[in-house]
Structure 1
Amino acid sequence: MMASLKESLAGPGYVILNALRVINIIVFLDMVAAHIVMLIKIDLLTDFFFFQAVSHAVAIGICLFLLVSELPFFRNYFDRHWPSLGEDSGFLTLAFAMLILGIGALGDLNTPATSQEELGLTFWRIIISAGILALVVSVINAAANFAFADRDIGVSARHVRVYGAVAPQKIASRTGSQRSFQLSYKREETLPSYSTSSPIRRSSTTGSSRFPVKISPPQNPMRMASNAASSKYSRDSTGLTMPDIAHHPALQSGHI
């Protein structure tokens, strides 16, 4: 019953959540304006005013960062590096950050430098409106996160804001493709691997033996000819006799 109700809300949720996105952007712009006013009107009573100025500058940076996360740009960056602000995480982190910023803006009004008399009615209203809007819209974001999300099938409120009524089908197809990829990857890991350094010797079609063959280096032709000529007149130590010295040229010439 609950699943069918959430599926029926996916279509209107596309319009509602995109309207809420515009409201979020307005809240962050209002918050940036409020901290700029407090940064300009800061009271220089002591040397610690620097840290108060840094706190306002950090709040401005956080508001701009959250504002960019609500825009339909850099979605891959936020999904990869800031998953708590990505499509799979919904609006809870955004709502909590907006709540803290709203409480901080209203707390900054409790100083003499940010009183209505010092700031003027216009600037004072900017700050108090930013704080109240941040508190109210943070609660709306948290409620929308639970109203339009369906955790049973992995659909978040941000998925509904992007895909609308077809968000369940989109997530189901993406989940199926991821599972098939993981199964194929695991199947590849279980296949046996062969290494070139394996001790298994493959037999060759030329009838080569599996025992290592020692191949001698090529011989010098001149040395081979010299060895062949000398072997005609000499023998090694296997018992063969040397040639007869009576055939030596010196004996034939009559010098002896």
Structure 2
Amino acid sequence: MNSPALRGAGLVVLQALRVATVITLLVAGAACWILIINVEKNKPYFIFECFTLFFVSVFCSLLAVSELAFAEFIKVYLRRMWPVLSDHHGLSWLGFGMIIIGCNILGMLNHDLKMSSALSSLVLAAGILAFIFGFLNVVCSFIWCDRKEGITSRDIRANGSLAQSQRQYPDYDTNGRSSPVRNEKYRSKIASMFWKKDKEQFVNGQPDISPPYVSHYARDIEAQSDSPIIPGLKRPDTALHPMNSRSSRSSRYSEANMSRF
């Protein structure tokens, strides 16, 4: 994979495979809706069969959007919600998804569906193409990748020989600092639903802390704050005593203010 020629060839091959993949997914989605219309309505559980085909068509649309993700907000959404389909991962999960879609569509041809030959051929072609191009995506994902450098097949498809590693994922969590705090608050709310003790200890999200303990000796000292010389005159606070002052002394008792000679 260190050969620039091999990576350049991978750029051409993977871009051509990308076009074929998008066309196949669109055809597979259309085939699902054809099967929904022509499903046997006289069976009691046909509605579940319709829902299954509907979800397969939605999955086809999601894979097609992941391959046509040219806008930045779509890339950011895929990195957060569907990281295996984003540009930070290879094409293997896309290929496995297409194989599942192809198997599902081909399996529906087992039913006795009343369709014209043209529609039946379209459904058959959609299933075969989904299976083939899904397998090719898996194979190409393992061929054009470099695990030591962290380079995936999507990186080579986008940049060719200039592909670089994208091991850093800054778009997964833009608020990285606030997410741990948010998760901690969420856990405390969940815990408070099961333990009443947490509800009693926390009031409006703040812990209920008891007031500081004041001993009887401290209360007696406060009560004896009157001046011993003049009854009724409150003694100044101890914090205002010159002994507790950080500033330099304002008076000099042991030094005479005169010359030594």
Q: TM-score, normalised by structure 2?
A: 0.61
Q: Deviations over 1:86-120 (max 9, x none)?
A: 2232011111110011011000000112xxxx211
Give 1:144's match in structure 2, choosing from 135, 140, 147: 140
Residue 45 (structure 1) aligned to one of 30, 42, 47 = 42
**2:253 matched to which residue of 1?**
none
Number of residue pairs matched by the alignment: 173
| Alpha-carbon distance in 2 for matches of 1:8, 1:147 | 14
Which of 43, 56, 61 is the equivalent residue of 1:59? Answer: 56
Match of 2:117 in 1: 121
Instruction: Decide whether aligned partners of structure 1 residues 213 and 177 sit closer, same or farther in structure 2, where only a CA change above 3 A counts.
Output: farther
1:154 aligns with 2:161: no
Partner of 2:221: none
Greater relative contact order structure (CA < 8 Å, 6+ sep):
1
Cα offset for 1:4? 2.8
> In the TM superposition, what is the alpha-carbon distance from 1:177 to its structure 2 partner?
11
One-letter code of the match for 1:81?
Answer: M
Gaps of 5+ in 2: 171-176, 178-237, 242-261
CA distance in 2, matches of 1:152, 1:8: 19
Q: Distance in 2 between matches of 1:134 and 1:177?
A: 30
> Where does residue 80 of structure 1 map in the other structure?
80
The residue aligned with 2:247 is none
Q: Distance in 2 between matches of 1:176 and 1:47?
A: 52
Partner AA of 2:23 in structure 1: I
Residue 246 of structure 1 is matched in structure 2 by none
CA–CA separation in structure 1 for the residues paired with 2:168 and 2:37 = 54
Partner residue in 1 for 2:17: 20
- Distance in 2 between the 1:144 and 1:127 partners? 26
Letter of the 1:150 counterpart: D
Distance in 2, matches of 1:47 and 1:56, equals 17
Q: Using the aligned pairs only, state the percent identity.
A: 30
2:2 aligned residue: 4
The residue that corresponds to 2:256 in the other structure is none
Change (3 A) 1:119 1:176: closer
Alpha-carbon distance change, 161 to 103 in structure 1, aligned in 2, over 3 angstroms: same
1:213 match: secondary structure:
helix
The answer to whether the aligner puts 1:69 opposite 2:66 as a matched pair is yes
Partners in 1 of 2:55 and 2:142 — Cα distance? 30
Q: Does residue 213 in structure 1 map to residue 244 in structure 2?
A: no
Instruction: Give structure 1 regions of 4+ aligned residues with deviation exceeding 3 angstroms.
Output: 174-178
> Judging changes above 3 Å, is the alpha-carbon distance between structure 1 residues 39 and 177 closer, same or farther for their aligned structure 2 residues?
closer
Larger relative helix fraction:
1
Q: d(CA) in 2 for partners of 1:66 and 1:214?
A: 76
1:219 alignment partner in structure 2: none
Q: Contact 1:14–1:164 at 8 Å: present in 2 too?
A: yes
What are the Cα deviations for residues 116-172 of structure 1, in whole angstroms up to 9, with x where unaligned?
Answer: xx211100011100110011111110111011111110100000111121103xx2x
3-state secondary structure, aligned to 1:13: helix
Which TM-score applies when normalising by structure 1? 0.63
- Asked whether the 8 Å contact 1:33–1:126 carries over to 2, the reply is no
Give the structure 2 partner of residue 221 of structure 1.
none
Which segments of 5 or more consecutive residues in structure 1 lack a partner in the other structure?
Answer: 179-184, 186-211, 216-256
The structure having more radius of gyration, on CA atoms, is: 1
Q: CA 1:77–1:128 in structure 2 vs 1: closer, same or farther (change >3 Å)?
A: same
Aligned to 2:250: none
How far apart in 2 are the matches of 1:130 and 1:21?
16
